[in-house]
């Protein structure tokens, strides 16, 4: 799904969303240069694989948090972890580096990727800001609506504390 298809899906499903168009961004330092309406809800997304290339994870946390992969591995009983390749990202989620987003999981037809979401997105406003499969915009929506959309897609979801 591309950006327009994501917006159409959200509209068809009557899911509230708001879009912030911006220059292409490829990392959180570049995101910090943009004026965002809900900076506390901006998401950082990591596409990770285990050392045997059998298990793939999309880890989404608040933009100001760090993910310690060794600690994540110990807490969740995974094999050693590292970043997945750009080719894996394209093959599994149809995304390029810099455009990693939970909405890319809608492209994961074989359900090879497990989604791990920072529980804190469900607190306070309950908003989350993610790319609409394109790094030239951020789409803001309720975290619960995102989770429902992914569950209906068959995505395996785990909520965790960072």
Domain 3-160, classified CATH 3.90.960.10, yes or no: yes
**Would you say residue 30 has pLDDT above 90?**
no
Going by the DSSP 8-state scheme, the letter that residue 142 receives in this structure is E
Q: What is the pTM of this model?
A: 0.94
The predicted pLDDT at position 156 comes to: 97
Sign of CA dihedral 134, 107, 96, 82: positive
User: Residue 132, exposed/middle/buried by CB under 10 A (0-12, 13-18, 19+)?
Assistant: buried
Alpha helices in the chain (DSSP H): 3-12, 28-31, 69-76, 86-93, 143-153
Burial readout 35-62 (b: 16 or more C-beta within 10 A, e: otherwise): ebeeeebbbbbbbbbbeeeeebbbbbbb
Tokens of 128: 């989350």
Q: What DSSP element (H or E) covers 64?
A: none
Where are the domains positioned within the chain?
3-160
pLDDT in tens, 109-161: 999 999 999 999 999 999 999 999 999 999 999 999 999 999 999 999 999 99
């Amino acid at each position: 799904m591309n950006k327009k298809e994501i917006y159409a899906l959200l509209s068809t499903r009557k899911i509230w969303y708001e879009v912030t168009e911006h220059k292409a961004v490829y990392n959180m330092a570049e995101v910090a240069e943009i004026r965002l309406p809900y900076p506390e809800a901006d998401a950082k997304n990591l596409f990770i694989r285990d050392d045997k290339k059998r298990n793939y994870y999309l880890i989404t946390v608040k933009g100001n948090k760090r993910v310690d992969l060794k600690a994540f591995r110990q807490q969740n009983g995974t094999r050693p972890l590292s970043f997945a390749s750009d080719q894996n990202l394209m093959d599994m989620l149809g995304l390029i580096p810099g455009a990693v987003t939970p909405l890319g999981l809608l492209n994961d037809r074989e359900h090879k990727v497990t989604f791990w979401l920072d529980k804190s997105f469900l607190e306070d406003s309950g908003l989350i800001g993610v790319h609409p499969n394109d790094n030239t915009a951020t789409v803001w929506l309720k975290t619960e609506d995102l989770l429902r959309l992914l569950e209906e897609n068959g995505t395996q979801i785990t909520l965790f504390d960072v």
